[in-house]
Amino acid sequence: MRKQVIAGNWKMNKLMGEATQFVDEVKGQVPSFDQVESVVVAPFPYLPKLVQQAEGTDLKIGAQNMHFEESGAFTGEVSPEMLKDLGVTYVVLGHSERRELFAETDETVNKKTHAAFKHNLVPIVCVGETDEQRENGEAESVVETQVKAALKDLTNEQVKDVIIAYEPIWAIGTGKTATAEDANAMCASIRKVVSEFAGSEPAEAIRIQYGGSVKPANVDELMSQSDIDGALVGGASLQPDSFLSLVEAGK
């Protein structure tokens, strides 16, 4: 039985006061960590404060990106060790906005995934096809390539601990959600790819989230699918009450 992971990706939203108010409000109300992993994925400047606020509660804090290098001349970047040192537990890697707008490649996503394991951070690796790729019938092969590249050279034990977020790009922030059946079919296809790549045990253990216009109104149906193990949520994770109903659905 895989435990669901519901992560709210705030992207580049909220000021410090709003972020701390949010965490104060939800931290005592999220379900127990044994039932569901509830994660707030916040902008870098807020991480130290939010980790401190959430300490000892069932709410976990994640980062939206990091560099794969340990340290050095990388102006503007944040290292895995810096995140670990702050007490961050999850890190989103290869979000489509980073691939599209900041030139992230399958190769850098793979390096970052390795770096996450080196520093005991749980990687949430994003994959997903564009509208055009789906229209052309290429969705599964595009996602397969991304998954294999991200997992390259990981041990089978590490593969089990990866979280893959399937986020079809056409469904992000558009209000268009993949139907629960389509989302589940792609998550099942990802699991098959993992099985061929690393064997059936890692494939059964790996958690696969769906992301793309998830909201309180559709989360139950999505989370009840056999191969969907959680959600990575943008817009609908920004309000405390909405975030709380999403994490409830993960129980």
**So which residues are the catalytic ones?**
95, 167
Q: Is 168 in the site for ligand G3P (CB under 6 A)?
A: no
Q: Please enumerate, as own/partner, the contacts of 26-31 that have beta carbons within 8 Å and a separation of 24 or more.
A: 26/59, 26/240, 26/243, 26/244, 27/53, 27/54, 27/57, 27/58, 27/59, 28/57, 29/244, 30/57, 30/58, 30/59, 30/244, 30/247, 31/58, 31/247, 31/248, 31/250, 31/251
Please identify which residue in 71, 85, 155, 173 interacts with ligand G3P, judged by CB under 6 A. Answer: 173
Site string for ligand G3P, 93-132 (x = CB under 6 A): --x-------------------------------------
The Cα angle at residue 206 between residues 153 and 152, in degrees rounded to 5:
15
Question: Which range binds ligand G3P by CB under 6 A, 26-34, 129-137, 151-159, 210-218?
Answer: 210-218
Q: Is 79 in the site for ligand G3P (CB under 6 A)?
A: no
Sequence-distant (6+) residues with CB within 8 A of 11 are: 64, 97, 234
Nearer Cβ to ligand G3P, position 26 or 232?
232
Cα 219 to chain centroid distance, Å, stands at 16
CB-CB neighbours of 22 under 10 Å: 23
Site string for ligand G3P, 38-77 (x = CB under 6 A): ----------------------------------------
Nearer Cβ to ligand G3P, position 172 or 203?
172
Q: Is 217 in the site for ligand G3P (CB under 6 A)?
A: no
Please identify which residue in 26, 40, 159, 172 interacts with ligand G3P, judged by CB under 6 A. Answer: 172
Using Cβ positions, the residue closest to ligand G3P within the complex turns out to be 234
CA distance linking residue 163 with residue 72, whole number of Å: 28
Q: Is 167 in the site for ligand G3P (CB under 6 A)?
A: yes
Please identify which residue in 31, 80, 94, 234 interacts with ligand G3P, judged by CB under 6 A. Answer: 234
Question: Which range binds ligand G3P by CB under 6 A, 27-35, 53-61, 110-118, 205-213?
Answer: 205-213
Q: Are 250 and 38 in contact (CB under 8 A)?
A: yes
User: To which residue do tokens 């990388």 refer?
Assistant: 74
Nearer Cβ to ligand G3P, position 202 or 212?
212
CA distance linking residue 130 with residue 213, whole number of Å: 15
User: To which residue do tokens 């702050």 refer?
Assistant: 86
The residue ranges that bind ligand G3P (CB under 6 A) are: 9, 95, 167, 172-173, 211-214, 232-236
